[in-house]
Structure 1
Amino acid sequence: MFEEGAAGPLESTTPASTPLAWPSIATGRRPDGHGSYWFRRLERDYSHSVVTSDEIGGPNAWDLVTPATVANVPMTYPAQPIDGNMVTGMMTPSKGPGFTHPPELADAIAERIPEYRIGLDWQRFDGDEREFAREVGDLVDSRERLLEYLLAETTFRLGFVVFTAPDRLQHLVWDEETILDHYRRLDEVLATVRSYVAERDMTLFVVSDHGFGPVSRVVSANRVLERAGLLARRSSGGTRGVLGRLGVDKESVRGWLDRVGIDDATLVESLPQGLVDMVAMQVPGDNAVYDVDYAGSEAFVRGHGSVYVNRSDRFEAGTVDPAAADAVKRRLVELFESLTDPETGERVLEVYDGDDLFPNDPNSPDLVIEGIEGYLVQTALTDEEVLDTEQTAAGHRPEGILFATGPDVAAGTRVDGATVTDVLPTLLHAIGEPIPSTVDGEVLRTVFAEGSDPAERPSRIVEPAATDVDDRRAQVSPSADGDGDADESVEARLRGLGYID
């Protein structure tokens, strides 16, 4: 694809994270346009609710180009009733209701690909890299079989299929030989797709939501705030104090549950979330949700480095008057920008103003912090500000990849300056479809060969037919399994993937 098409780096969102970047690829909008800043939405009482597909501000690519076949795209659960076929991806709690559209597609997958899995539980492998790599390989095999089935059995103008396996692998295994073997396997899958599109004179885009690179140190962002007096831990009095003195904390409880064979999925299936929350509030630990005293904190960090000022007009226990919020924010910028690694004396964080990144959403993070190369931001309340990594071998980098091939694509062309929001408008322009005025990205005209129709034709911008999309989404319930357990099941999956504490 380097030789026969256009290629270049693809700048991710800030932060470079799946729940921001994939919706930006699918909608052409920045996070303040589609509204997703993390896998879970921060509520006024500091709790979280799982972000579902009907909360992502569209329209999506599959709303604009139909019929469409969509598979394994993160943040698409529950499946929307699109014109075409959808198999939801990351954030899907089970292969039950909401897993596919139409619903009978799930039955076909169960019959044709019974081994198909939505994802892997990182914690289950406990450092066994060889076994983990084998499991990731099996995951790719089942994804390939799903892809082949969809290519053979569905008709589409737009095919949108995601392989998340390289992300899972690289987070835990940063070994060149293992990674190259994995990408060779993905190349075999890509060869199948290229043959399919070449026979039909279609255009093929290959993109990633972010890049990857090794990490060796972790920045405990909430500990930084605590040491500066901007965040308080929950009191050690009462039940928490008694349990703490007895050596009962979240880590010991998790270890006990593991020893008796109770994993996260079993826990959330057996106990109502309200009971889990109540127990978690009483058992001391380092969780950024349960172990912070918000009534005594001016700021806190959630998700992938999202920093929030604890404003009284935004949060129910807010301590910062709105008139003082900018002053607190300036103090936070100075604090994070001045943080250094005690082992090297070097800065460890990049700091971004949320008003600059997300100007159109008042509920966006106030700041975003990302680790400088080699450092990873985490939210757990550790004892140290900067410490060595344990399980994680690599983390996200902002530079992803973009490839394109097709009858109108310029061969051997370097594409510079592309961002994840540019993918959708470029795709739409390539096939002669209008571009919604809500799109933030631009058409990457260097992708197209000189003299080709897309290179010569002006872009056509239109107002999106929002009512059509909204009518379809109104048919989708966030708790698509019907028993109120979807959020809890997704919470367990996120823990298994290592995305939450």
Structure 2
Amino acid sequence: MDCQIKTLLVGIDAGCRSVLDPLFEDGALPHLRSIFAEGSSGPLESQIPPWTPSAWPSMYTGTNPGKHGVFGFLDFDGYDWDVVNATRVREHTLWELLDRHGHSSVVVNAPVTHPPRAFDGAILPGYTAPENPTCYPEGLLEEVRNEIGDYRVYPPRNLPLDESVEWYRRLVTMRGEAFRYLADRFDPDFGFVQFQSTDTVFHEHPGEDGVARAVYEAVDEQVGEILDACDPDTVVVASDHGIGEYAGYEFRVNDFLREEGYVETVRGGEGMPSWSTIASNQLQRGKESSPRERGWAERGLATAARVGITSQRIGAVLERAGLDEFVVKHVPEDFIRAATEQVDFSNSVAYMRDRIECGVRINLEGREPDGVVPPERYEEVRAELVEKLGSVRTPDGRPVFETVAPREAFFDGPYSENAVDVVCVPAEFDQFLSAQLRGRRFGPPREPWNHKLNGIFAVAGAEIDSDATCAGAHLFDVAPTILATFDVPASDRMDGRVLPVVEPAGEQSYPAYDAGETVETDDERVEARLADLGYLE
């Protein structure tokens, strides 16, 4: 293999020192540990919201979501939604800026990069892409599969533990093998390989240290082989957020807003669903019902819901009786949706439409299709929400939120209006937010492990000042810092700074991004995979 990468970015989803340090101490990750030991490193503060589909675009564009346009897994059009894809990322990526300066790139498994845009190099898209994504150049996926064997974006679903661990390792190996093949094939100046399984393992097997260790050992092995094969001048390791145990509560925002008079609900399948856990589990299995079954059963359950017998209430009883899993396996999803009490978005004053967004949206006249809040009352309603949400306490008396503020405190740019109107930052990210209607404000966290705000950043190389501090590093700083390793100016639209480990190359005004046509994802398999991990409720 004959390639010489100038700068390599290794993306480790959910990477954080609380996970890495015990593995470093055990000598389990020699290659990653050497990067941290030989270079400069520190915590990397993520953004709000600190979730994969918004945070990775923020990292590789150097801009906040108000500028690049992606705030979560879902993109909303009125009250309807679709899973985000690359056509929603409306700012230049760092590999596109490098292309403008004559540098080529290979990008493997970066989230929200499907369908890819043309540039000098190659890209295999990652998370939110379909299982057989369009790649660049055309035909690249088939070429990679012919060269290395199977290549997948996601593992098979609903696997037993031993097979699940094996698939994590196989996916990690696929990333490394594909990257090395493409690096040899295209001889890029910049390389970016992202590992998603380091996040997935904590959602699917929370607290199982042995499983997480197996995934990280596989990542370290691939990193070592990439370093040997590509001999990069500079290596950057970065994550989009951290991960950790949640010791607080699940706070059901829409239940709170209903009690406060902001949320209206509807039964019988006529509103946008706030899905119960039993419905979410059914969606994951993707079971469908026949037209005949839907006819009589949905009508019956919808009627029951209208008199108060909702799937949430049924689910609670079944759970206590230990029958919820049996019902999930045998009752089609449409039945459960028909009996689910739902947030009536079009008749509500304000609501949480997606927990990943970390906030509340106001149903504003002139902006939403059926807005009920007049523009002249917008600031009044928003101030009320900030005050009420900011004063919420857990059952043991602790604040639910560290910060409740207008969106302008976190987002600026041409797409800020697509954000929530009130941003709600959980205290220490120890309180689990939910958009579900469950009849009570609080409950135990649905996921015992989830995202934390601080990730990791490490950089090493001959041209890196390893004595310089990375203190205060932010997610937005990664792109301008990588550009500086090429002596390429950062975009004057970037929100980050060049970290002092490398000399800045100044700023430049790049052409405005041409958004082009938006393409729908409309892929139930992608949606089901996101539901598996708890991202879609």
TM-score bucket (shorter structure): 0.7 to 0.9
Contact 1:434 1:461 in 2 (8 A): yes
For 1:132 and 1:139, locate their aligned partners in 2 and report how far apart those are by CA, in whole Å.
11
- Corresponding position of 1:380: 436
Query: Where do 1:180-195 residues align within 5 Å?
Result: 180-195=213-228
For 2:250 and 2:198, locate their aligned partners in 1 and report how far apart those are by CA, in whole Å.
22
- Corresponding position of 1:493: 529
Query: Where do 1:11-410 residues align within 5 Å?
Result: 11-44=45-78, 46-65=79-98, 66-96=103-133, 98=134, 100-120=135-155, 124-125=158-159, 129-172=161-204, 173-197=206-230, 199-200=231-232, 202-216=233-247, 217-235=249-267, 239=299, 241-244=302-305, 249=311, 259=329, 283-285=338-340, 291-303=342-354, 304=356, 305-342=358-395, 344-350=396-402, 351-360=404-413, 361-373=416-428, 374-390=430-446, 392-410=447-465
Equivalent of residue 416 in structure 1, options 454, 465, 471: 471
Structure 2: tracts of 5 or more residues without a match: 1-34, 271-298, 316-323
Q: Deviations over 1:356-413 (max 9, x none)?
A: 11133233211222332432112111122111134x2311111011011111112354
Distance 1:380 1:114, change over 3 A: farther
Provide TM-score, normalisation by structure 2.
0.77
For 1:353 and 1:168, locate their aligned partners in 2 and report how far apart those are by CA, in whole Å.
31
- Corresponding position of 2:509: 463
Q: How far apart are 1:130 and its partner, in Å?
A: 4.9
The 4+ residue runs of structure 1 with deviation greater than 6 A are 245-248, 254-257
Amino acid of the structure 2 residue aligned with 1:153 = R
Q: How far apart are 1:440 and its partner, in Å?
A: 1.4
- Corresponding position of 2:16: none
Distance 1:293 1:380, change over 3 A: same
Amino acid of the structure 2 residue aligned with 1:175 = E
Distance 1:52 1:257, change over 3 A: farther
SS at match of 2:195: coil
Q: How far apart are 1:112 and its partner, in Å?
A: 2.9
SS at match of 2:456: strand
Amino acid of the structure 2 residue aligned with 1:333 = V
Q: Deviations over 1:16-47 (max 9, x none)?
A: 11122111111111111101111221222x11
Aligned length: 453
Contact 2:238 2:456 in 1 (8 A): yes
Provide TM-score, normalisation by structure 1.
0.83
Percent of residue pairs bearing the same amino acid type: 27
Q: Deviations over 1:444-472 (max 9, x none)?
A: 12x13xxxxx3xxx532211134xx63xx
SS at match of 1:423: helix
Q: Deviations over 1:62-107 (max 9, x none)?
A: 11123111111111111222221110111112315x2x11121111
CA RMSD of aligned residues (A): 2.9
